[in-house]
């Protein structure tokens, strides 16, 4: 770690320090606009988590997965079942999170195993079906044996807590008052940094290069001795375990889970984050996740005043107008930046060669 820091130029070091300060100050700046904005920031980080997990499958290994939200659901429900009054269990977070990662990882392999032979769009529809199957089971497993409490969801889920220190309530540390969302923010930033480092290390590891080889040409990858079966399963498993961890934190942060949060449109949104940002390029994916999670929320605040300013009254239903603008933004970005906002250097080179 020290070596890595020493290799940076003073300018880069300065930039890094600026980013660190901005990250530390963000929840307090956001809180000036209300705690809702801190929550939006938290969700943006959660989506970074998810988008990076999906990026392993779609961006690195080139396997189109439209059911990614299933792993998020598995992680969320595992937390909800093991730490809520529903079964009367209250496990600590350090037990649930690794378990959530492991269970989601198993689900990843269960999804991966039958789909190894499939290509492109066939894979997409099977993963999509898998996501729907998981959601339908969660929605209906309340009878005859009540496991998931069905469409009502599970309530009163325990927050993340270290001993007596709970992340959900306001508390004062070192003379500064932290609200619940602000505390979660710092926890999420720490986790997200870990995830980003893991992703960078993965991308440039032997496994990462094997994924890239499979993405570019599976037959050639096999020919040079890559065990494509295991490497593909590994991509599904690793992507899934990130989803599982994110799901657990989601459940704890919200205190409530229901099947509604895990519909297909969520999988599609996460895929849109990956593609819009720049598939396979970690900074791009992060940018995509932040943009697509903050934009709909920002539009929520913008559509009513803008309409009033332009027409003097609210003409269109704000909720559908903001989604309409959001959909248009997706189309326009892809129209003018077909490889994403921040494409990976290789991708950019390929596009330049083609023209």
Partner 1 sequence: MDTFLQQIINGLVQGAIYALVALGYTMVYGIMGLINFAHGEVVMLGTLIAITSITFLIKAGIAVPLAALIGISLSVLACMALGWSLERIAYRPLRHAPRLTPLITAIGMSIVLQNLAMMIWGRNYMIFPPLIEKTQFEVAGASFTNVQVIIVTVAALAMGGLLWLVYRTRLGMAMRATAQNPAVAGLMGVNANRVIASAFVIGSALGAVAGVMVGSYYEIAHYQMGFMLGLKAFTAAVLGGIGNLAGAMAGGVLLGLIEALGAGYIGDLTGGFLGSHYQDIFAFIVLIFVLMFRPSGLFGEKTGDRA
Contact positions toward partner 1, by CB under 8 A?
58, 64, 114-115, 117-122, 124-126, 128-130, 132-133, 136-137, 139-140, 143-144, 216-220, 264, 268, 271-272, 275-276, 279, 316-317, 320-321, 323-324, 326-331, 334-335, 338-339, 347, 351, 354
Nearest approach in angstroms of CB 212 to partner 1 is 13
Q: Which is nearer to partner 1, 276 or 286 (CB)?
A: 276
Nearest approach in angstroms of CB 312 to partner 1 is 19
Question: How far is Cα 183 from Cα 192, in angstroms, rounded to an integer?
Answer: 14
Question: How far is Cα 273 from Cα 50, in angstroms, rounded to an integer?
Answer: 10
Q: Which is nearer to partner 1, 58 or 80 (CB)?
A: 58
Q: How far is CA 270 from CA 241, 313, 339, in A?
A: 15, 34, 16
Nearest approach in angstroms of CB 133 to partner 1 is 5
Q: If we measure between CA atoms, which residue out of 135, 100, 130 comes closest to residue 113?
A: 130
Nearest approach in angstroms of CB 250 to partner 1 is 22
Q: Which is nearer to partner 1, 95 or 316 (CB)?
A: 316
Q: Which is nearer to partner 1, 264 or 294 (CB)?
A: 264
Nearest approach in angstroms of CB 263 to partner 1 is 9
Nearest approach in angstroms of CB 304 to partner 1 is 15
Q: Which is nearer to partner 1, 4 or 336 (CB)?
A: 336
Helix (H) or strand (E) holding 310: helix 282-311
CB contact at 8 A, 246 and 304: no
30 Cβ contact list (under 8 Å, min separation 6): 37, 38, 40, 41
Alpha helices in 56-88 (DSSP H): 69-82
CA angle 41, 288, 133 (to 5 degrees): 90
Question: How far is Cα 272 from Cα 274, in angstroms, rounded to an integer?
Answer: 5
Q: Which is nearer to partner 1, 260 or 317 (CB)?
A: 317
Nearest approach in angstroms of CB 207 to partner 1 is 20
Question: In terms of C-beta distances under 8 Å and separation of at least 24 residues, what long-range contacts does 215-224 make, across chains too?
Answer: 215/60, 215/61, 215/62, 215/280, 216/62
Q: Which is nearer to partner 1, 235 or 321 (CB)?
A: 321
Question: How far is Cα 253 from Cα 6, in angstroms, rounded to an integer?
Answer: 37
CB contact at 8 A, 350 and 298: no
């Amino acid at each position: 770690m020290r070596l890595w820091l020493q290799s940076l130029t003073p300018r880069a070091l300065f930039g890094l320090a600026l980013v660190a300060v901005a990250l530390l100050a963000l929840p307090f700046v956001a809180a000036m606009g209300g705690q809702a904005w801190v929550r939006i920031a938290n969700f943006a980080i959660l989506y970074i988590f998810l988008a990076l997990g999906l990026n392993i499958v779609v961006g690195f290994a080139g396997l189109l997965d439209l059911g990614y939200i299933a792993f998020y659901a598995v992680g969320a429900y595992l937390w909800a079942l093991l730490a809520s009054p529903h079964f009367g269990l209250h496990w600590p977070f350090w037990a649930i999170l690794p378990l959530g990662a492991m269970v989601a990882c198993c689900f990843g392999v269960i999804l991966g195993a039958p789909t190894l032979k499939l290509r492109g769009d066939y894979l997409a529809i099977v993963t999509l079906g898998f996501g729907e199957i998981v959601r339908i089971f969660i929605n209906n497993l309340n009878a005859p044996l009540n496991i998931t409490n069905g469409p009502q969801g599970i309530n009163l889920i325990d927050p993340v807590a270290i001993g007596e220190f709970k992340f959900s309530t306001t508390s004062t540390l070192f003379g500064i008052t932290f609200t619940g969302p602000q505390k979660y923010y710092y926890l999420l930033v720490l986790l997200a940094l870990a995830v980003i480092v893991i992703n960078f290390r993965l991308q440039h590891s032997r496994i990462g290069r094997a994924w890239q080889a499979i993405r570019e040409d599976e037959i050639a990858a096999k020919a040079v001795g890559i065990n494509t079966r295991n490497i593909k399963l590994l991509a599904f498993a690793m992507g899934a375990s990130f989803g599982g961890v994110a799901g657990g934190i989601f459940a704890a942060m919200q205190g409530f889970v229901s099947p509604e949060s895990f519909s297909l449109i969520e999988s599609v949104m996460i895929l849109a984050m990956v593609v819009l940002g720049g598939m396979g390029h970690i900074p791009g994916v992060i940018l995509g996740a932040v943009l697509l999670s903050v934009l709909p929320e920002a539009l929520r605040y913008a559509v009513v005043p803008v309409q009033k300013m332009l027409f003097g009254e609210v003409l269109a239903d704000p909720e559908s107008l903001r989604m309409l603008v959001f959909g248009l933004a997706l189309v326009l970005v892809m129209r003018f930046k077909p490889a994403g906002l921040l494409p990976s250097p290789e991708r950019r080179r390929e596009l330049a060669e083609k023209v």
